[in-house]
Amino acid sequence: MVKRHNKNDTTIQKINELYITTRRKYIKQKGGQYSTFNNFEHSNALILSDWMLQLHLDGDETYGVFNGNTVNKFITFDVDYADDQPMAKWATRKLIDVLESEFNIRSNDIHVSFSGNKGYHVDLFLDEPIKADEAFAFYQRVITVADLPSNKIEYRPTYKQAVKLPLGIHQKTGARCWFVDRDTFEPFKSFTYLDDLEPMDHSLILDALIDLTPEQEAEFKEIAERTDVNITAVLESDAFAKVSEILTAGQLLRSNTRHETTVLLAAFCNSQGYDQADAIGIIMETLWNTPREYFSEKSTPEFWQSETERLVKLAYERNYQLGNADMPITIYRSEIYAVLNVGTFRQKQLAYAMLVTSKRYGPTFYLTLTTAMKMTGASKPCVVTAIKKLVEVGFIEYVRKREIDKGRSRELGRPLYKPNRYRLLIEKPKTNEQSVEVLPADNLVDVALLLCDSTEIKGAVGRREFDNRWSR
């Protein structure tokens, strides 16, 4: 026999915490019909109270709640296939799978209860209320991705449509609306299901709203509007300055900026020619280096990883580029002389590529082998040899070299290295030193000839190299 609840039980407190946004408007079931009580419109209507919730748990009366008109503190997917319970179970399983696989909702944050007839309620409880239109937009996004009909999977609650509270009795069928196992649908015949339940991070819902449609490209446009980060390579963007600050600091610059920083760095890595694995490594390192208090209480490294992988994949598929790719940079005469004196022509090309990269993204910078190969046109062995030479002659130094990414290595079951980081060691230019503004299309030879005459270059590189590579 099921034990009846006592007043002021923890379960009543949890129902208040998780479900009730307004007490002045609610529904009461009698037979198969529902009546609405609205104290906003009728002052003699009783306000939903704890003793009513007690009656609900006791099975004497059955109540349901509306949202707070402008906000939702929970979202219910009301799965109702009339008399076809096998179909209701199938749709519920598909809905759960999509919430987990496509929207990164943890299994433990998805709560399923029997509706009392043939259907099920799938509840998501939020640690902070969100706007009602955002909650509804999330519902629409989910059923679209799941390819489930909105007339069978309905959205609740709204301010006009309530949802029946769980753990009570369906007054028409007499069935108890227990929470059920997500896989087997076997009921948990206990009133204590809610007692230790903790709501999920509401930002998971808000994150899922970004990129609603490919046409809108909302994922990146919304972030650009909030952060002045221009992802479409418009020169007025301050994306360059932001990336430089983030990479120099090695962490988030402000609290609660994980999402926008991830998008920004994903676009940066794509514009630099890094592969997706390197991009994920750079972003995750930035997040791990950030003090824990910069994140919301419910935010976990597992979620950071899954979101980083999702956003990097999106940035690369749509080929988003950082907004500073075509911005001019200043190269000084002494810097070109430092480049001219490092070794072979290929090594000079790599030195120039590193000089340009440091100008764009700060004195400590990433440069993967893939990117270096693209920038110099050299083979991988040639680039590896050139890097060794630049270290030997003191042009650069390693800030990090072949450091294993322990977390991702454990995940993949094989060693995975973080991208190497470098620092330029050449002297800073003197005041009023000769300089030129250069663009990405300007190569080493073009820039050198703007800052030095041919005799000076020939003296630095030798006659044979000059005749083969530098003469015009």
> Domain for residue 417, yes or no?
no
Mean pLDDT over 36-53 rounds to: 89
Quote the pLDDT of residue 218: 46
Note whether 141 and 283 are same-domain residues: no
Instruction: Give domain status of residue 407, yes or no.
Output: no
At 275, list the tokens: 């592969």
Q: What is the distance of C-alpha 243 from the center of its chain?
A: 17
pLDDT for 397-450, tens place per residue? 988 787 776 655 665 677 767 778 888 999 989 989 999 998 877 889 999 999
Look at residue 6 in the predicted model and tell me its pLDDT.
53
Is the pLDDT at 320 greater than 90? The verdict is no
In a domain, 24, yes or no: yes
Burial class (CB in 10 A: 0-12, 13-18, 19+), 198: exposed
Q: Which residues contact 352 (CB under 8 A, 6 or more apart)?
A: 339, 443, 444, 447
Local confidence band at 351 (pLDDT 50, 70, 90 cut-offs) = very high
* Exposed/middle/buried for residue 197 (C-beta within 10 Å: 0-12, 13-18, 19+): middle
Examine the domain organization and report whether 50 and 166 are in the same domain: yes
Q: Is residue 436 part of a domain?
A: yes
User: Domain end: 317, 347, 372, which one?
Assistant: 317
Whole-prediction pTM value?
A: 0.48
For residue 198, tell me if it sits in a domain.
Answer: no
Say yes or no: 91 and 183 in one domain. Answer: yes
Question: Within this chain, do residues 301 and 248 fall inside the same structural domain, yes or no?
Answer: yes
406 domain-assigned: no
Q: Which residue would you say has higher pLDDT here, 414 or 183?
A: 183
Residues 6+ apart with CB under 8 A from 385: 347
Burial zone of 67 (CB within 10 Å; 0-12 exposed, 13-18 middle, 19+ buried): buried
Distances, alpha carbon 360 to alpha carbons 60, 176, 241, 354, 396, in Å: 70, 64, 9, 10, 16
Count how many domains the chain has: 3
DSSP string, 94-158: HHHHHHHHTT---GGG-EEEE-SSS-EEEEEEEEEEEEHHHHHHHHHHHHHHHT--TTTEEEE--
pLDDT at 466: 87
Handedness of CA 36, 73, 139, 120 (dihedral sign): negative
From 171, 188, 205, give the residue that closes a domain: 188
Domain co-membership, 360 together with 394: yes
Q: Within this chain, do residues 28 and 158 fall inside the same structural domain, yes or no?
A: yes
388 and 347 in contact (C-beta within 8 Å)?
Answer: no
What mean pLDDT do residues 335-352 have? Answer: 93
Whether 43 and 50 have beta carbons less than 8 Å apart is answered as: no
pLDDT tens digits for range 49-89:
999 999 999 999 999 999 988 889 999 999 988 777 788 89
Edge-to-edge strand list for the sheet holding 396-400: 364-366, 421-424, 396-400
Q: What is the pLDDT of residue 394?
A: 93
Do residue 144 and residue 252 come from a single domain?
no
Q: Over the stretch 150-173, which tens digit does the pLDDT of each residue have?
A: 888 999 999 999 999 999 999 888
Residues 266 and 169 in one domain: no
Highest mean pLDDT pick, 4-18, 286-300, 334-348 = 334-348
Q: Determine contact, residues 347/376, Cβ cutoff 8 Å.
A: no
Residue 414 lies in a domain: no
Kindly state the DSSP code that residue 176 receives in the 8-state scheme: B
Assigned domain for 322 exists: no
Please report the pLDDT score of residue 72 as a whole number: 92
Q: Is the pLDDT of residue 245 over 70?
A: yes
Mean pLDDT of the region 42-49 = 89
* CATH code of the domain containing 167: 3.90.920.10
Position 412 scores a pLDDT of 61
pLDDT value of position 407: 58
* pLDDT exceeds 60 at position 231: no
Which residues on adjacent β-strands are paired with residue 329?
438
Amino acid 410: pLDDT: 65
Query: Do 225 and 268 belong to one domain?
Result: yes
d(CA 162, CA 128) in angstroms, rounded, equals 20
Q: What is the pLDDT of residues 272-307, one digit of tens each?
A: 778 888 889 889 988 988 888 888 776 788 888 888
The verdict on 127 and 55 lying in the same domain is: yes
Residue 226 reports pLDDT greater than 50: no
Instruction: Give the other-Cβ count within 10 Å of 291's Cβ.
Output: 9
* pLDDT value of residue 20: 92
Residue 88, domain extent? 10-188
Q: Are residues 146 and 252 in the same domain?
A: no
Sign of CA dihedral 425, 430, 435, 437: positive
Q: pLDDT (tens digit, 9 = 90+) per residue, 88-147?
A: 898 999 899 888 877 878 889 999 999 988 889 999 999 888 888 889 989 988 888 787
State the pLDDT at residue 222.
Answer: 45
d(CA 27, CA 160): 11
Order of strands, sheet of 62-65, starting from the edge strand that comes earlier in the sequence: 33-38, 25-30, 62-65, 163-164
Quote the pLDDT of residue 68: 82
- The mean of the pLDDT values for the chain is 82
Check residue 472 and give its pLDDT. Answer: 64
Q: What is the pLDDT of residue 404?
A: 75
Count of residues in the chain: 472
Does 202 score more than 70 pLDDT?
yes
> Is the Cβ–Cβ distance between 125 and 95 less than 8 Å?
no
What is the pLDDT at residue 65?
Answer: 95
- Among 317, 340, 358, which residue terminates a domain? 317
- 154 with 246, same domain: the answer is no
Interacting residues of 186 by C-beta distance below 8 A, sequence separation 6+: 180
Alpha-helical runs (H) found in 250-395: 258-271, 276-288, 301-317, 333-340, 345-361, 369-376, 380-392
pLDDT at 214 over 50: no
Whole-number Cα distances in Å, 118 to 66, 80, 170, 171, 175: 22, 7, 11, 14, 10
Are residues 68 and 26 in contact, defined by beta-carbon separation less than 8 angstroms? no
The answer to whether 416 and 409 are in contact (CB under 8 A) is yes
Task: Name the more confident of 320 and 169.
Answer: 169
Per-residue confidence (pLDDT) for residue 221, from 0 to 100: 44
